[in-house]
């Protein structure tokens, strides 16, 4: 928070009300001089409080992006810092990384029988990165990683918002089939949109289109790079953009930012 400048008059007050106003100005001036470092310390942990490894926040970081890079779950990362998705982080801030139990438990050695070999169970990956062949929106455009950010009604953001001019093309990111069509209506969050499903069950969700490409309907097969609609702001969209989600294997949404970034370089 930048310091707040203020002017304090040096003229002698003539009446009691003027002294009150001068005192108020001095108090406000003092409040404005609270250093930004004091405010920064009020958000998030300090390195000294971390029981294990730490991470220094850089420009462009978000909770989900840090979790993906460090190969930990976003929930574990936020728990380690006593944070929620609404907690603000800033460049230069030190975060605690979740402590993993690397010390093996002490057990009594046993000899496995020849017919029962020992097996090792590998924990599933936190999120699989899905590759796409084409970036979803015609350039120029812009986007940042806002996956997991809080939304109205207790929801969290499950996609990436690609900001572009109204009327720019929206593309099929891979060969697949349009399996669901969303039509704008009063109270709709998504507005006009498509669900594009590929062979392994993974689907991509597009929202806020101004209109659909002609000749397409549910069941239409499309090719990567084919125009499926135009950028708009239907549904709950304050500015023209395309909301884009990735659902590996048809399951829950994962952070689409790495997928989108890999596609556009």
In a domain, 134, yes or no: no
Decide if 184 is inside a domain.
yes
Same domain, 27 and 91: no
> According to the model, what pLDDT value does residue 265 have?
55
Q: How confident is the model at residue 175 (pLDDT cuts 50, 70, 90)?
A: very high
Banded pLDDT at 201 (limits 50, 70, 90): very high
Q: For position 76, which CATH number holds?
A: 3.10.350.10
158 lies in the same domain as 249: yes
What integer is the mean pLDDT of 159-176?
Answer: 95
Burial 90-100 (b: 16+ CB within 10 A, else e): eeebbbbbbee
Min mean pLDDT across 24-38, 66-80, 168-182 is at 24-38
Do 169 and 189 reside in the same domain of the chain? yes
Please report which confidence band the pLDDT of residue 1 belongs to, taking 50, 70 and 90 as the band edges.
very low
Domain that holds residue 28: 1-34
Q: Phi/psi at 227 (nearest 5 deg)? A: -75, 125
Ordered DSSP codes for 152-216: GGG-B--SEEEE--TT-EEE-SSSEEEEEEE---TT-SS-EEEEEE-TTS-EEEEEEEEEEPTT-
Same domain, 257 and 157: yes
């Amino acid at each position: 928070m930048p310091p707040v400048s203020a002017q304090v008059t040096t003229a002698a007050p003539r009446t009691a009300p003027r002294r009150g106003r001068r005192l108020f100005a001095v108090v406000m001036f003092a409040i404005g001089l609270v250093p930004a470092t004091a405010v920064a310390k009020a958000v998030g942990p300090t390195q000294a409080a971390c029981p294990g490894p730490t991470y220094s926040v850089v420009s462009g970081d978000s909770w989900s992006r840090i979790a993906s890079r460090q190969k930990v779950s976003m929930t574990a990362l936020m728990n380690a810092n006593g944070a929620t998705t609404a907690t603000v982080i800033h460049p230069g801030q030190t975060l605690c990384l979740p402590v993993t139990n690397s010390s093996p438990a002490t057990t009594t050695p046993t000899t496995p029988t020849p017919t029962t070999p020992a097996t090792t169970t590998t924990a599933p990956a936190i999120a699989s990165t899905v590759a796409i062949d084409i970036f979803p929106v015609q350039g120029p455009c812009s986007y940042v990683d806002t996956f997991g950010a809080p939304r109205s009604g207790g929801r969290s953001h499950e996609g990436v918002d690609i900001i572009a001019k109204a009327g720019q093309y929206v593309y099929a990111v891979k060969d697949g089939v349009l399996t669901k069509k969303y039509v704008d209506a009063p109270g709709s969050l998504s507005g006009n949109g498509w669900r594009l499903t590929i062979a392994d069950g993974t689907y991509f969700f597009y929202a806020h289109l101004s209109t659909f490409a002609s000749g397409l309907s549910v069941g239409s097969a499309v090719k990567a790079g084919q125009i499926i609609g135009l950028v708009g702001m239907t549904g709950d969209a304050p500015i023209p953009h395309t909301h884009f989600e990735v659902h590996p294997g048809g399951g829950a949404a994962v952070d689409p930012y790495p997928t989108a970034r890999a596609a556009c370089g």
